[in-house]
Structure 1
Amino acid sequence: MRTPSLFVELAGDAACFPADAKAMVAALGTHDVDHPRVAGTHFGGPLRPGAGLAAAEIGEWLAERFPE
């Protein structure tokens, strides 16, 4: 796959451990991948900032890739 990819990892996710996240990123099969880690738990809660931090990462990534 040659598609640019973004994999946002919630650092406190109880269902996806850091080694799992690294394996998922490797499975993407692209070298054009960004893998930020943000504070948050599974699906961004209960640490409320998790979803907002993930959204900010996505917004920044999109703005860099697709400037107006």
Structure 2
Amino acid sequence: MARIPYIDTEECMACGSCAETCPDVFAMNEEMGFAVVVNPYGASEDEIQEAIDMCPAQCIHWKTE
């Protein structure tokens, strides 16, 4: 089973670190004020994990698809 990232938008601080770290997976939704997953397969799990680890709000998690 594949693991895909998801963002708890209630917790997101809109800092942009995930989009900077992994721009092919995450993007900022300026209108809504939080980050979104634009392509859960846009990077390796290791690269996505790096973005998860860098998140100051710890709002990015894995779910199994």
> Please, what TM-score do these two structures have when normalized by structure 2?
0.34
Instruction: Name the structure where helix makes up a greater proportion of residues.
Output: 1
> Please, what TM-score do these two structures have when normalized by structure 1?
0.33
Instruction: Name the structure where strand makes up a greater proportion of residues.
Output: 2
Larger Rg: 1
